[in-house]
Structure 1
Amino acid sequence: MNIQWFPGHMAKTRRILAENLKMVDVVVELLDARIPASSKNPEIDGIVKNKPKIVVLNKADLADEKISNEWSKWYNSQGYATIFIDSIKGTGIKQLKDQMRDIMKDRIERDRQRGRIFRPIRTMIVGIPNVGKSSLINKIAGKKSAVTGDRPGVTRNKQWINVNNEIQLMDTPGILWPKFEDKTVGINLAVTGAIKDEIIDTVELASILLEHLSKTYPENIKKRYKLESLQDKKGYELLEEAGKKRGCIISGGEVDLTRIAAIVLDEFRGGKIGRITLERPGDAVQELVAD
């Protein structure tokens, strides 16, 4: 599966980030805890440069907790303090606010000694589409301030949101990069919903996902789709069998692969198959598809 997607508004988003960075004190880079490597836009570091940055992994409630701990240790070894959050329930939000204050404490104290009027910590939230930036801002602010949605590309323009007298947040549109050098990156982004389903072969995508999960989380898919045996079965076979079990049958007794593919992807994204992480540290990007 070859996935390339770079709509025009992505170039505009890069300009927005670069132009407004001088007004920002701290950058929060939001990643998907299920795909920490694939959800990291390699262009962000080049745009942000030396600005103080906090790495935040969202959707931690959907990720495999054991592997999340591995990622936490890996980031610590690289000199990053990481925060795992659930932007819907609010888990980890207090820790994130504390981290913002801690990063800026020297500037705040310097301004106080000089008698300057305190101004809020200006924080830019950056990340790929559909990673939960607007939901995070709403949770930090304690009110519905940013536009949210369950599809990529909802936030189109920058937004400044006043949290309180201490913190001011800038929401930005999600940004992808022009070309996925590793095909697995594109697949991981598509599986988690960062790329619109409308431009993807969802049957192939769901087949790839099931084949991968049959090796990494076999009991999860056996239980969820009542599959009796996974041995030596390819993704399409697993998808077809799951479709039969779910009653996704069309005229002639054939399986409606499009329907069962949509079900599998939706249930993965909603955590109904279980808490699953597709990448481990140590793998630049874990292979979903054999070359």
Structure 2
Amino acid sequence: MTSYKVLVRDVIKKADVLLEVIDARFPDETRNNEVEKEIIRLKKPFIIVINKCDLVSKDKLEKTKARLSRIAPTVFVSGKARFGTTMLRHQILASACIKGQDILVGTLGYPNVGKSSVINGVTGRHRASTSPVSGHTKGVQHVGAGSRIMFVDTPGVIPFDENDDYVQGLLGIKDATHLKDPIGVALKIIEKMLVENKTALEVFYNVTLETQDSYSGLELIGKQCNFLQKKGEVDEMRTAIRIINDWQTGLLLI
């Protein structure tokens, strides 16, 4: 943990502009207050980059952008679809306020928010190494993006004192095979979908959910997927793993 703190503070100190990359599905959960305070303390310009914007509704996205824009310039992008990356490039140039020299851009964020994908989107080619496995980036990588922009790609910023298995499952920091309680995480996903986009959940699994009870939802999804044990009971673990995988790979949209 100490090494991550040292790494992050070093990037903040050296960079001309900082990007805080967050997940559009969890804008507040993927912000790191300690990192933001350090950026502000050192009086460095920073941009909030809402990545994975293709996984949420336009209405939700606009509300999030309007709220976060009060804190710092905010741009929403899809690193995967390379949407919004031209706008991000313009914002980097505007925020740096440096003429005639290269701009060093530090990228910070939790594991699996898609920092490397955002960099590749701006550069227009596969320069930063990416992987669906969280924590893929090792050490610091410098990536040239043209137009005087040089990115510093970092490993994910692990939350200080973060031990919440449910949060790590929802954010995709840990996949289903590394979670202590996959069923509990799946129930959290169902709860969130029931509140924010019940219709999408029902359409995706071809079910009709009569109540807001997440456990009943898990059982119904298990039956629809035919994840049954010998006595006809739902295989809750298999169902939970399916739901977590669908969530983390972006098949379930809010």
Q: Indicate whether the TM-score tops 0.5.
A: yes
2:234 to 255, 269, 284: 255
- Alignment CA distance shift 1:151-1:11 (3 Å): farther
Q: How many residues align?
A: 251
Q: Could you tell which deviates more after superposition, 41-50 or 187-196?
A: 187-196
- Separation in 1, partners of 2:168, 2:59: 21
- Alignment CA distance shift 1:236-1:99 (3 Å): same
Q: Secondary structure at the match of 2:146?
A: coil
**What amino acid does structure 2 have at the position aligned with 1:203?**
I
**Overall identity of the aligned pairs, in %:** 25
| Matches for 1:237-256 after TM superposition, within 5 Å | 237-256=216-235
> TM-score under structure 1 normalisation?
0.79
Asked if 1:52 corresponds to 2:48, the answer is no
| Matches for 1:173-184 after TM superposition, within 5 Å | 173-180=155-162
- Alignment CA distance shift 1:200-1:230 (3 Å): farther
Asked if 1:98 corresponds to 2:90, the answer is yes
The residue aligned with 2:22 is 31
Q: Could you tell which deviates more after superposition, 19-28 or 150-159?
A: 19-28
The residue aligned with 1:4 is none
Q: How much does 1:45 deviate?
A: 1.5
Asked if 1:137 corresponds to 2:130, the answer is no
The residue aligned with 2:12 is 21
CA contact (8 A) 2:209 2:217 kept: no
The residue aligned with 2:170 is 191
Q: Could you tell which deviates more after superposition, 199-208 or 29-38?
A: 199-208
**What amino acid does structure 2 have at the position aligned with 1:82?**
T
**What amino acid does structure 1 have at the position aligned with 2:214?**
G
- Separation in 2, partners of 1:15, 1:79: 25
Q: How much does 1:180 deviate?
A: 4.9
Gap runs ≥5 in structure 1: 1-9, 109-117, 277-291
Greater relative contact order (Cα < 8 A, sep 6+): 1
> TM-score under structure 2 normalisation?
0.90
Q: How much does 1:82 deviate?
A: 0.9
Gap runs ≥5 in structure 2: none
Q: Could you tell which deviates more after superposition, 213-222 or 44-53?
A: 213-222
**4+ runs deviating over 3 angstroms:** 186-189
CA contact (8 A) 1:62 1:270 kept: no
**What amino acid does structure 2 have at the position aligned with 1:176?**
I
Q: Secondary structure at the match of 1:119?
A: coil
**What amino acid does structure 2 have at the position aligned with 1:228?**
T
- Separation in 2, partners of 1:31, 1:213: 19
- Alignment CA distance shift 1:238-1:20 (3 Å): closer
The residue aligned with 1:127 is 109
- Separation in 1, partners of 2:193, 2:157: 28
Q: Secondary structure at the match of 2:22?
A: strand
- Alignment CA distance shift 1:41-1:141 (3 Å): same
- Alignment CA distance shift 1:84-1:189 (3 Å): farther
| Matches for 1:267-286 after TM superposition, within 5 Å | 267-274=246-253, 276=254
- Alignment CA distance shift 1:22-1:41 (3 Å): closer
Q: Secondary structure at the match of 1:208?
A: helix
Q: Secondary structure at the match of 1:122?
A: strand
The residue aligned with 1:285 is none
CA RMSD in angstroms comes to: 2.0
Decide which structure has the larger Cα Rg and report it. 1
The residue aligned with 1:215 is 195
